[in-house]
C-alpha cells in the first residue's frame, strides 16, 4: 500500500528514505544509470497519490546528487571521457527542459504505463545488444579516444560525436519526462551504438547525468513541483543516502565485469517494469 500524500514526515521516514537512497545510489552508480530508473518506479509505488511532476522532481534531485558523487569517484579513477561527456551533456539540456515542462500535464495512470513500457523495452534491448570489441569500435570511424585509468587499464575506442550528440538530445527529453535521469538509456546507447567500453560509458554517463539532472531540477523548482507531499524533505532524505551509496557503487564497479553490469541493469529494469505494469492493470 502506498504512503498517503498527507502522511507526517517523521524521523522513521527520514531513516527509511536515507537507506533507500543509499541502496539506489550504490546500484545506480555500479551500472552508470544514476539510480533514477530504480527510484522513480519505487516512488510511484510508495506515493500513488502524488502527481507525476512531484515524483520526477524528487527523483531528478536524487539523481543529481548521485551523479555528482559518482562523478567525483570516477574522476579519481580517471575513467571519464570528458571530451565526449561535455558535448553530450550540453546536448541533453534542450530536451531535458522540454521533458520537465511536459510532465506537468501528464496523468499518473498514463505516466505509470509509459514508464513500465520504456523500462521493459530497455531491459530487452540491453539483453540482446552486444558490446563492440576494440577492433570493431575503432573500425567504425569517428574520433579515436585513448584512456588509461588509475588501475592501469587501457581503453582505446572511437566515438561518433555528432551521432552521440543527436542521441543525447532525445535522451534528455525522455529521461527528464520520466524522471529516470537518462543513464539507463545513455549507457546502453554508448556501449551498443557508439562503441564505448562499458566502464568508460558508466563513468562518462555519470558526468552527463550531473549536468542534465541539475538543469532539470532547477526547472522543477521554478515550476513549484516540490510543493506537494513533503517533496523537498523527501529529496533531502534520499540524497543523504545516495551520496554515500554512490561512493560504494563506484568502488564496487572496479571489481565487476562489463557483462555482469549489463545483466544487473537488465534484471533491475524487468522487475520494476513488471511491478508497475501490475499496478496499472
Q: What is the pLDDT of residues 248-262, one digit of tens each?
A: 887 887 777 667 777
Q: Higher pLDDT residue, 58 or 195?
A: 58
Identify any residues that bridge with 156 across adjacent strands, giving them in sequence order: 146
Q: What percent of the chain has pLDDT over 70?
A: 88
In a domain, 4, yes or no: no
Q: Quick one: pLDDT at residue 3?
A: 47
Q: Residue written as cell 495512470?
A: 109
In a domain, 275, yes or no: yes
Can you give the pTM of this predicted structure?
Answer: 0.78
Q: Which set of grid coordinates corresponds to residue 262?
A: 549489463
List helix spans (H) across 47-160: 52-77, 82-102, 108-128, 134-139
In a domain, 6, yes or no: no
In a domain, 250, yes or no: yes
Question: Binning pLDDT at 50, 70 and 90, where does residue 92 land?
Answer: very high
In a domain, 226, yes or no: yes
In a domain, 2, yes or no: no
Question: Which structural domain range is residue 104 located in?
Answer: 11-280
Q: Is the pLDDT of residue 5 over 50?
A: no
Number of domains comprising the chain: 1
- What pLDDT, in 10s, does the model give residues 116-133? 888 888 788 777 765 544
In a domain, 1, yes or no: no
Contact between 276 and 44 (Cβ < 8 Å): yes
Question: Binning pLDDT at 50, 70 and 90, where does residue 154 land?
Answer: very high
In a domain, 167, yes or no: yes
- What pLDDT, in 10s, does the model give residues 189-214? 888 788 888 889 888 988 998 999 99
Helix (H) or strand (E) holding 207: helix 198-223
Q: Quick one: pLDDT at residue 135?
A: 43
Amino acid at each position: 500500500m502506498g504512503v498517503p500524500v498527507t502522511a507526517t514526515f517523521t524521523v522513521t521516514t527520514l531513516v527509511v528514505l536515507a537507506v533507500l537512497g543509499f541502496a539506489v545510489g550504490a546500484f545506480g552508480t555500479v551500472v552508470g544509470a544514476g539510480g533514477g530508473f530504480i527510484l522513480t518506479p519505487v516512488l510511484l509505488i510508495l506515493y500513488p497519490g502524488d502527481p507525476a511532476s512531484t515524483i520526477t522532481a524528487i527523483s531528478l534531485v536524487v539523481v543529481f546528487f548521485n551523479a555528482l558523487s559518482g562523478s567525483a569517484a570516477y574522476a579519481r579513477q580517471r575513467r571519464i571521457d570528458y571530451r565526449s561527456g561535455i558535448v553530450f551533456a550540453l546536448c541533453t539540456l534542450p530536451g531535458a527542459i522540454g521533458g520537465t515542462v511536459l510532465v506537468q500535464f501528464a496523468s499518473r495512470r498514463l505516466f505509470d504505463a509509459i514508464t513500465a513500457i520504456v523500462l521493459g523495452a530497455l531491459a530487452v534491448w540491453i539483453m540482446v545488444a552486444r558490446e563492440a570489441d576494440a577492433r570493431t569500435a575503432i573500425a567504425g570511424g569517428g574520433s579515436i579516444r585513448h584512456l588509461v585509468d588509475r588501475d592501469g587499464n587501457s581503453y582505446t575506442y572511437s566515438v561518433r560525436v555528432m551521432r552521440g550528440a543527436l542521441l543525447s538530445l532525445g535522451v534528455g527529453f525522455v529521461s527528464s519526462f520520466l524522471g529516470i535521469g537518462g543513464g539507463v538509456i545513455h549507457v546502453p546507447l554508448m556501449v551498443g551504438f557508439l562503441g564505448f567500453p562499458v566502464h568508460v560509458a558508466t563513468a562518462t554517463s555519470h558526468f552527463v547525468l550531473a549536468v542534465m539532472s541539475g538543469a532539470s531540477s532547477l526547472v522543477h523548482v521554478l515550476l513549484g513541483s516540490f510543493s506537494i507531499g513533503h517533496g523537498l524533505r523527501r529529496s533531502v532524505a534520499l540524497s543523504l543516502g545516495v551520496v554515500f551509496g554512490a561512493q560504494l557503487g563506484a568502488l564496487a564497479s572496479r571489481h565487476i565485469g562489463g557483462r555482469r553490469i549489463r545483466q544487473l541493469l537488465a534484471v533491475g529494469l524487468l522487475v520494476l517494469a513488471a511491478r508497475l505494469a501490475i499496478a496499472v492493470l
